[in-house]
């Protein structure tokens, strides 16, 4: 197979403790022929941390090269960390983890803001063969608890507190709540390691290169509680830890990490990626899609809590010995100049962000962008959701001054790295199209009966053969992996996205075709929001649909049917929003909540979301409504639509 030969050559550029005994690739994509499995280089052993750090320092002599310029939430709060310093800290923390009893195969939960210790923590897990499960620090304590329990993590790494723009987040408090909930559910987490981040100034740290970054702002008075016997300070443990640590040699097919992504049933899926294939895939996509050169300064604005951060803040850039920016803040703090001033400050050459950020900044006009030089920029990337041509053009014309190719990269948590993407300078672009497959990727478009469509077509986007970065299983539930991705069309990996191919062969993603929503580039399932709503005592039933939003792309429009004795009020709306924030996190906060005394249902009782989506948009062209059990509910809902964002 061409793809295995191609990847075989690439594998030679990495360090293998023992080579692949062969075969290089074995797989089954067809549920009708048995269990789904994908094995790349099984039997070969390596360590991804060794490849991305030790080799860069010792073999490639990049020890003094900056791995990350860290830019804090507050302008002026900065530090940098070289490859050598990163290696030392990772070895120290690996020793800390081992001393705490963490062994190969154990799961470690990480709940941290974008600070250098987050990178150190994940690489230390990788070094000792433990699986990191990073939970985005914007998720609620409930979400953290659910994820800790699902993969029975024995240790949690977190932070005292941090600022996101002007908002103070007391992360330790949320972590404590999560651990309390785990305890109540009969799963006590043994240890919680806490980085002193806001309180850093008190420690007088920052003088020694292998210490954490200095902080210039005075520390606010954050009260954090301390659980004796469980909580340990990161800096105290690091002081005692040795700075050499033999890596754990792992099979290429050993799991590297778990990252949860929303599932259409409402329960998040623990996507499992493996050591060897993921390493090859993120290193190679990074190199070609961003046309990497040694002198580049790369900046991916994604949080490491998402797959984009895993692959293109940490593993991909480090595998190439790149210098990156690690940004803790947000694009609008202290003002909308922030991103472009950082671009100029570090002379960023390759910049990677999400359409939602572009649309947000577009609203403020060209001036905040054009008053900065941006002369260093060479390639601009986007990811996370379809980019509308208007935002694409603004990105190209204003941000990139028409000089920089745009790489619109389509991929998923499940795919590990880029799947459909232009190669900068080589692929003629079309605004809004992710263009063509990456090397070794074989897409197809299927119709409802599973037939491959040729030429100009629209249908289900699937992939016909494995690439090294594909997920291997859903943690603890292989059957769910098979059902979600392989059952609908035997023989294919099903993305869940709709796609159109035009007459020139360009691929255009048309959006999700399952019960998933994409809010600001983050996937949410309707089911998880609905179940958070019905947990409120006033709510009998809830239905959630996606609704177009000028900045977020899509926002949540919720219909709620109340229990007898409850009345709909602004107070209740607020309570419901709070409920969702607490159950899931602020990203899932709905923009609209409508009182729905009745919901349109089929005679068998299924809620007709298709009709609800139209009602939310005041679109009376409902198509066939003959299956609606009680048509009168439709006119009621139309006349009581929410007209403004609440």
- CB of 426: closest distance to ligand WTA in angstroms? 18
* Spatial distance between the Cα atoms of 419 and 427, rounded to a whole number of angstroms: 15
- CB of 374: closest distance to ligand WTA in angstroms? 22
- Determine the straight-line distance between the first and last CA of the chain, rounded to whole angstroms: 55
Return the residue of 182, 215, 272, 307 that touches ligand WTA, per CB under 6 A.
307
Of the pair 43, 498, the CB lying nearest ligand WTA is at 498
Residue 269 in contact with ligand WTA, rule: CB under 6 A: no
- CB of 128: closest distance to ligand WTA in angstroms? 27
- CB of 461: closest distance to ligand WTA in angstroms? 9
Ramachandran bin of 267, using left for φ above 0, alpha for ψ from -120 to 50, beta for the remaining angles: beta
Classify 67 as helix, strand or coil.
Answer: strand
Of the pair 261, 320, the CB lying nearest ligand WTA is at 261
Of the pair 524, 576, the CB lying nearest ligand WTA is at 524
Of the pair 254, 408, the CB lying nearest ligand WTA is at 408
Residue 261 in contact with ligand WTA, rule: CB under 6 A: yes
What separation in angstroms does the CA of 567 have from each of 255, 350, 498, 563?
50, 53, 40, 9
Residue 411 in contact with ligand WTA, rule: CB under 6 A: yes
Of the pair 282, 608, the CB lying nearest ligand WTA is at 282
Return the residue of 20, 62, 358, 383 that touches ligand WTA, per CB under 6 A.
383
Please state whether beta strands 443-446 and 457-463 pair in parallel, antiparallel, or not at all (unpaired): antiparallel
- CB of 223: closest distance to ligand WTA in angstroms? 34
Residue 512 in contact with ligand WTA, rule: CB under 6 A: yes
- CB of 612: closest distance to ligand WTA in angstroms? 20
Return the residue of 434, 538, 608, 612 that touches ligand WTA, per CB under 6 A.
434
Q: Which residues contact 79 (CB under 8 A, 6 or more apart)?
A: 70, 116, 206, 212, 213, 214
- CB of 432: closest distance to ligand WTA in angstroms? 9
The token duo for 343 is 């671009």
Residue 189 in contact with ligand WTA, rule: CB under 6 A: no
The token duo for 184 is 């109540």
Residue 538 in contact with ligand WTA, rule: CB under 6 A: no
Residue 461 in contact with ligand WTA, rule: CB under 6 A: no
Stretch that binds ligand WTA, among 204-212, 411-419, 579-587, 600-608 (CB under 6 A): 411-419
Residue 412 in contact with ligand WTA, rule: CB under 6 A: yes
Of the pair 378, 421, the CB lying nearest ligand WTA is at 421
Of the pair 268, 600, the CB lying nearest ligand WTA is at 268
Query: Tokens 């043994």 appear where?
Result: 190
The CA-based angle 426-290-432, given to 5 degrees, is 65
- CB of 510: closest distance to ligand WTA in angstroms? 9
**Residues written for the chain:** 646
Of the pair 497, 515, the CB lying nearest ligand WTA is at 497
Longest pairwise C-alpha distance within the chain: 73
- How many other CB atoms are there within 10 angstroms of residue 630's CB atom? 12
What separation in angstroms does the CA of 15 have from each of 51, 249, 433?
6, 11, 36
Return the residue of 384, 416, 459, 600 that touches ligand WTA, per CB under 6 A.
384
Of the pair 408, 591, the CB lying nearest ligand WTA is at 408
Return the residue of 94, 274, 409, 525 that touches ligand WTA, per CB under 6 A.
409
Of the pair 82, 314, the CB lying nearest ligand WTA is at 314
Q: If binding means CB under 6 A, how many residues of this protein chain bind ligand WTA?
A: 22
Residue 525 in contact with ligand WTA, rule: CB under 6 A: no
* Spatial distance between the Cα atoms of 565 and 582, rounded to a whole number of angstroms: 25
Return the residue of 89, 154, 320, 413 that touches ligand WTA, per CB under 6 A.
413
Q: Which residues contact 208 (CB under 8 A, 6 or more apart)?
A: none
- CB of 310: closest distance to ligand WTA in angstroms? 10
For residue 177, give the nearest of 224, 133, 134 by alpha carbon.
Answer: 224
Q: Which residues contact 521 (CB under 8 A, 6 or more apart)?
A: 354, 355, 356, 383, 384, 385, 553
Of the pair 212, 518, the CB lying nearest ligand WTA is at 518
* Spatial distance between the Cα atoms of 36 and 29, rounded to a whole number of angstroms: 6
Of the pair 143, 409, the CB lying nearest ligand WTA is at 409
Return the residue of 248, 497, 530, 591 that touches ligand WTA, per CB under 6 A.
497
Residue 386 in contact with ligand WTA, rule: CB under 6 A: yes
- CB of 496: closest distance to ligand WTA in angstroms? 6
DSSP at 631: T
Residue 523 in contact with ligand WTA, rule: CB under 6 A: yes
User: Which long-range CB contacts under 8 A does 458-461 form with residues at least 24 apart?
Assistant: 458/498, 458/499, 458/500, 458/501, 458/510, 459/498, 459/499, 460/488, 460/489, 460/494, 460/495, 460/497, 460/498, 460/499, 460/513, 461/495, 461/497, 461/498, 461/499, 461/507, 461/509
Residue 274 in contact with ligand WTA, rule: CB under 6 A: no
Of the pair 231, 385, the CB lying nearest ligand WTA is at 385
* Spatial distance between the Cα atoms of 541 and 180, rounded to a whole number of angstroms: 29
Based on C-alpha coordinates, what's the Rg of the chain? Answer: 24
- CB of 46: closest distance to ligand WTA in angstroms? 25
* Spatial distance between the Cα atoms of 539 and 236, rounded to a whole number of angstroms: 48
- For ligand WTA, the binding residues in 107-136 under the rule CB under 6 A are none
Instruction: Build a one-symbol-per-residue string for 476-495: x at contacts with ligand WTA by CB under 6 A, - elsewhere.
Output: -------------------x
Residue 359 in contact with ligand WTA, rule: CB under 6 A: no
Please state whether beta strands 107-110 and 131-134 pair in parallel, antiparallel, or not at all (unpaired): parallel
Q: How many CA atoms lie within 13 A of 192 on its CB side?
A: 28
Q: Are 498 and 460 in contact (CB under 8 A)?
A: yes
Return the residue of 51, 79, 154, 518 that touches ligand WTA, per CB under 6 A.
518
Binding site residues, ligand WTA, CB under 6 A: 261, 306-308, 383-386, 408-413, 434, 495-497, 509, 512, 518, 523
């Amino acid at each position: 197979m061409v793809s295995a030969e191609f990847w075989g050559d690439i594998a030679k550029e990495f360090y293998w403790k023992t080579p692949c005994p062969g075969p290089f690739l074995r797989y089954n994509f067809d549920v009708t022929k048995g269990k789904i499995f994908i094995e790349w280089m099984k039997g070969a052993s390596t360590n991804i941390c060794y490849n991305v750090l030790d080799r860069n320092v010792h073999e490639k002599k990049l020890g003094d090269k900056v791995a990350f310029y860290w830019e804090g939430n507050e302008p002026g709060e900065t530090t940098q960390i070289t490859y050598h310093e990163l290696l030392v800290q990772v070895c120290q923390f690996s020793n800390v983890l081992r001393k705490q009893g963490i062994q190969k195969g154990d799961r470690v939960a990480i709940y941290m803001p974008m600070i250098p210790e987050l990178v150190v923590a994940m690489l230390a897990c990788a070094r000792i063969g433990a699986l990191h499960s990073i939970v985005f620090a914007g998720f609620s304590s409930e979400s953290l608890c659910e994820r800790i329990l699902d993969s029975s993590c024995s240790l949690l790494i977190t932070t005292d507190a941090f600022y996101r723009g002007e908002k103070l987040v007391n992360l330790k408090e949320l972590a404590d709540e999560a651990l309390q909930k785990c305890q109540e559910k009969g799963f006590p987490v043994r240890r919680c390691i806490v980085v002193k981040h806001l309180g850093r100034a008190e420690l007088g740290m920052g003088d020694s290169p292998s210490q954490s970054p200095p902080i210039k702002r005075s520390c606010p008075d954050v009260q954090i509680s301390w659980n004796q016997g469980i909580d340990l300070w990161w800096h105290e443990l690091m002081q005692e830890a040795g700075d050499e640590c033999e890596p754990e040699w792992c099979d290429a097919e050993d799991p590297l990490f778990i990252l949860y992504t929303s599932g259409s049933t409402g329960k998040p899926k623990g996507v499992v990626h493996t050591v060897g294939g993921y390493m090859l895939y993120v290193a190679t996509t990074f190199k070609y899609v961003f046309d990497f050169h040694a002198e580049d300064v790369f900046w991916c604005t994604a949080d490491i809590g998402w797959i984009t951060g895993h692959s293109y803040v940490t593993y991909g850039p480090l595998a190439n010995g790149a210098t990156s920016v690690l940004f803790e803040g947000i694009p609008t703090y202290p003002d909308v100049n922030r991103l472009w001033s950082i671009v100029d400050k570090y002379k960023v050459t390759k910049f990677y962000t999400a359409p939602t950020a572009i649309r947000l900044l577009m609203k403020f006009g060209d001036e905040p962008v054009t008053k900065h030089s941006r002369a260093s920029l060479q390639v601009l990337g986007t990811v996370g959701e379809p980019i509308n041509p208007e935002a694409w053009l603004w990105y190209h014309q204003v941000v990139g001054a028409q000089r920089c190719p745009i790489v619109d990269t389509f991929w998923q948590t499940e795919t590990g790295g880029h799947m459909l993407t232009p190669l900068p300078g080589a692929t003629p672009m079309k605004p809004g199209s992710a263009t063509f497959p990456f090397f070794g990727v074989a897409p197809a478009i299927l119709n409802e009966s599973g037939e491959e469509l040729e030429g100009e077509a629209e249908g289900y986007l699937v992939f016909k053969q494995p690439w090294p970065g594909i997920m291997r299983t859903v943690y603890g539930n292989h059957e769910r992996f098979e059902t979600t991705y392989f059952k609908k069309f035997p023989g294919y990996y099903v993305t869940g996205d709709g796609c159109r191919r035009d007459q020139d062969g360009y691929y255009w993603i048309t959006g999700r075709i399952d019960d998933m929503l994409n809010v600001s580039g983050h996937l949410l399932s309707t089911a998880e929001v609905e179940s958070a709503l019905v947990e409120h005592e006033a709510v009998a039933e809830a239905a959630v649909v996606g609704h177009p939003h000028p900045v977020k792309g899509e926002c949540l429009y919720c219909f709620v049917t109340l229990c007898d004795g409850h009345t709909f009020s602004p107070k209740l709306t607020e309570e419901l929003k709070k409920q969702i924030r607490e159950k899931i996190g602020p990203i899932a906060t709905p923009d609209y909540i409508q009182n729905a005394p009745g919901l349109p249902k089929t005679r068998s009782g299924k809620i007709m979301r298709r009709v609800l989506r139209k009602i939310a948009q005041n679109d009376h062209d409902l198509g066939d409504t003959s299956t609606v059990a009680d048509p009168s509910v439709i006119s009621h809902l139309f006349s009581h639509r929410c007209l403004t964002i609440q």
